[in-house]
Structure 1
Amino acid sequence: MITVRDLQTHPLDQVHRLIEPGPVILITTQHRGVPNVMTNGFNMMVRHEPALIGCTVGPWDHSYRALVETGECVISVPTAEMAQTVVDIGNCSGADTDKFQEFGLTALSGEKVQAPLVGECYANIECRVADAGLVAAYHLFLLEPVRAWTDPSQPQPRLLHHRGDGTFSVDGEVIDLKYRMTKWQYLL
């Protein structure tokens, strides 16, 4: 029988590595006519109906000011094939780099927000800030999706997940357990 003595303590400042929040995303903004894109690994679905997404974006991010002032962004979901680009986007600042040009990304116009979609990504979710009440204390924006897009040429994308230490995992085998979701059939 396993006991607590068989376990190893884990540093609290690395707990985020144990509960990875979701796929790495790109967040695009547009501020005073200038588009920007940033890499984000701290995000989560807050609820599904109506959809609400939480993202941490802080004053250390060039996109922070644009998000605060415009109240809108696009969450773009890159595939694992974009991993090196995603990391490189996160290693520079939109304050001095046109990341769309630098990384050869296609900025597409959305329908509901001014921030651009990223054409190379599997999915793009146009969002508006639904609640900024947690921004001052936690840099946590609650975003309401207002339009979503997927690329039909990528029917089974492999998404990238940051493990918190510069390593990543990639989606693997899909396990279909829909038949066991007896309590949640209305969601299927």
Structure 2
Amino acid sequence: MPRKRKASISAPDSKTEESTEEAPPSKQARSETSQTHTMESYPASKVYRLIEPGPVLLVSTGSLTSNTHNIMTIGFHTMLQHDSPALIGACIGPWDASFESLKSLGECVLAVPDASIAEKVVDIGNCSGDEVDKWSTFKLDAVPAETVQAPLVGGPGVIANIECVVVDRRMVSKYNMWVLKAVRAWLNPELKGQARMFHHRGDGTFVVDGEVLNLQERMVKWKEFQD
């Protein structure tokens, strides 16, 4: 924590009559005394642990019909636009085996896994599709999608699937950030009302969805986004 500065004390000028009123604090002094000292310093390089975006996802790429489909785990992604169309930013780099498939085909599927298969999802992210057939190794169901070549991820532990196409590659070379447009979405009816997404905290620990805080009545500015 930063140390408080000690106020400098100087003797009054002998030629000047000592004032009986205390001088108002300077702007700098007010700023220093108003700062809180209860916060601890935190490394700026680790802020991703403070604002991790959304739930952990599975990303399906390649083509199911040509048996080139692969799957990976991702934690860095964010919504960019609500609708018309819905846009999603996803960080997928050349260190990922799925990178070349996404680059060549410009399509993928984002699958939202339930917390019940969290360990499997982590294991999927611990190996490369260049070395392991993840679909068979982890007993994943590859289901034909409607609009893209990559398969949906089936099974009771998957909450939803979002078919996506790449619509902007301008940030890929600099940030490995792909802008995806959602073109079709699917929900697992068996998990309706029971699904629990899980979120990576950036350090190998996760938070699972729990209590729902319903403030829809107060969100008067955003009624069009409520059911």
CA deviations 1:57-108 (Å, max 9, x no partner) are 0000000000000000000000100110000000000001110100011000
Aligned ranges for residues 146-157 of structure 1 at < 5 Å? 146-156=183-193, 157=195
Match of 2:107 among 54, 69, 72: 72
Instruction: Read off the aligned partner of 2:96 and give its amino acid letter.
Output: D
CA deviations 1:135-162 (Å, max 9, x no partner) are 0000000000010000011013100100
Which residue number in structure 2 is paired with residue 9 of structure 1?
Answer: 41
Q: Which runs of 4+ in 1 moved over 6 A?
A: none
- The root-mean-square deviation of aligned C-alpha atoms, in Å, is 1.4
Which residue number in structure 2 is paired with residue 27 of structure 1?
Answer: 59
SS at match of 1:136: helix
Match of 2:197 among 143, 155, 159: 159
TM-score by length of 2: 0.80
SS at match of 1:67: helix
Which residue number in structure 2 is paired with residue 125 of structure 1?
Answer: 162
Deviation at residue 13 of structure 1 after TM alignment: 1.4
Instruction: Report the identity percentage.
Output: 50
Which residue number in structure 2 is paired with residue 88 of structure 1?
Answer: 123
1:112 and 1:93 map into 2 onto residues whose CA distance is: 26
Greater fraction of residues in strand: 1
TM-score by length of 1: 0.96
Q: Is residue 61 from structure 1 mapped to residue 93 from structure 2 by the alignment?
A: no
CA deviations 1:22-73 (Å, max 9, x no partner) are 0000000015631110000001111101200000000000000000000000
Q: Is residue 44 from structure 1 mapped to residue 78 from structure 2 by the alignment?
A: yes
Instruction: Answer 1 or 2: higher relative contact order, Cα 8 Å, separation at least 6.
Output: 1
1:83 and 1:184 map into 2 onto residues whose CA distance is: 32
SS at match of 2:127: coil
Instruction: Give the unaligned 5+ runs of structure 1.
Output: none
SS at match of 2:217: helix
> How many pairs align?
188
Instruction: Give the unaligned 5+ runs of structure 2.
Output: 1-32
Match of 1:112 among 137, 141, 147: 147
Instruction: Read off the aligned partner of 1:172 and give its amino acid letter.
Output: G
Query: Which protein is bigger by CA-based radius of gyration?
Result: 2
